[in-house]
Amino acid sequence: MRSFYMLPFLLLMHAPARGQQCSVSTPIDSRSDTTGPPLEHDGKGTTDAVAHLVIAGANIEKLPDLHGFETGIAHTRNELLVFFTPESHAIVLSGTLIPVPYDTLRSLAGSRAHDLAPVYGIRGMFVRADNRFQVVYATPDGKAAVAARMWGATGHDITKDQIRGIPGAVPEITISTPSSDANKQSGLQGLSGGFIGIPSAPEVIMFIDPQCIYSMKAMHMLQPAIDAGQVRLKLVPLSLLDYEDNGASTVNAKAMLSLPENEMAKAWLSDRLNSGSTEPEPDSGQKLARNTEIARQIGLTGTPTFVWMHRNGGIGRLDGVPTDVTTFLTSVSQ
């Protein structure tokens, strides 16, 4: 069972800045459900979101009903989730109750809010404040709201689907808790990419699309730390943006994967990939396909995405451009 960030969302005024990413128009390989639930299993045939948590190994502590929602706490030895669910248990919301009528919040949000299509009758809105945002859902009685994320009965991230088409809305930055998933750890070893930085520095896998401006932005932000020996990056190329660059992502990713590991980063940063001077090697397509499959397995939906190993064997992850490089480097070094 993979780890997942399960603490409740903070209210908008305290919400962290969201990482900038180049996002795919549809999930990788047209998958419909690769971003896991708070607690994960195969989900086959499941129509009850609370039962999904139980099947996944969580203990459920029932709490008093609030504003038309059943409420409870799902917990394992390492994870804790406060949830809200309608009587049908079709979905669960993981988040924080706001004791203010939903319509009042919607009125106060004004033009900063974007109304979401109701799901199982539950209204929601995406609220933006500068580079921060929060998704808020109405309680069944409308007398309160929940700042939350919505999960389907098989663990599907419904909120991510709802906000995918909103300009500037990207997945939140998440640094995972330690995971003992040996298969996932070993799978990362099959990635093809190029290194930049001294071998003795903490190593971080950085998934990029060569055409992604945010991948390049993150690279420039981290360059001083790379030069100072604080981090070493393994740049893993993907092709997520073919839908908007007429296939240039695939062409450049294959060109990058055709170079020696110690030349990939330089070629990308110097824009040599776009020159067409690098002919793809016969195995570049296979390498790109393997990178894409591993990205699919970890639920990647945009670039840049960072993954690294903690000293205790756990896996760290951050989706998007780091909003605080110092905090990022601190986590990487642990």
The pLDDT assigned to 130 comes to 58
Closest-CA residue to 135 (of 150, 120, 121, 122): 150
Residue 8: CB partners within 8 Å, gap ≥ 6?
82, 94, 95, 96, 147, 148
Predicted confidence (pLDDT) per residue in 275-300, tens digit: 555 578 889 999 999 999 888 888 88
Summarize the confidence of residues 97-102 as an average pLDDT: 94
What is the percent of the chain where pLDDT is above 70? 77
Q: Evaluate if residue 196 carries a pLDDT over 60.
A: yes
Residues in the chain: 334
Q: Which of 42-56, 216-230, 238-252, 292-306 has the lowest mean pLDDT?
A: 42-56
Mean pLDDT confidence for 207-231:
93
CATH number, domain 182-333, options 3.30.70.890, 3.30.460.80, 3.40.50.300, 3.40.30.10: 3.40.30.10
14 three-class SS: helix
- Looking at residue 42, its amino acid is D
CA–CA gap between residue 220 and residue 262 (Å, rounded): 18
Helices (H), 78-212: 102-109, 158-163, 182-188
Of 27-41, 81-95, 266-280, the poorest mean pLDDT is in 27-41
pLDDT at residue 190 tops 50? yes
* 17-29 pLDDT per residue, tens: 346 777 665 444 4
Domain ranges of the chain: 12-163, 182-333
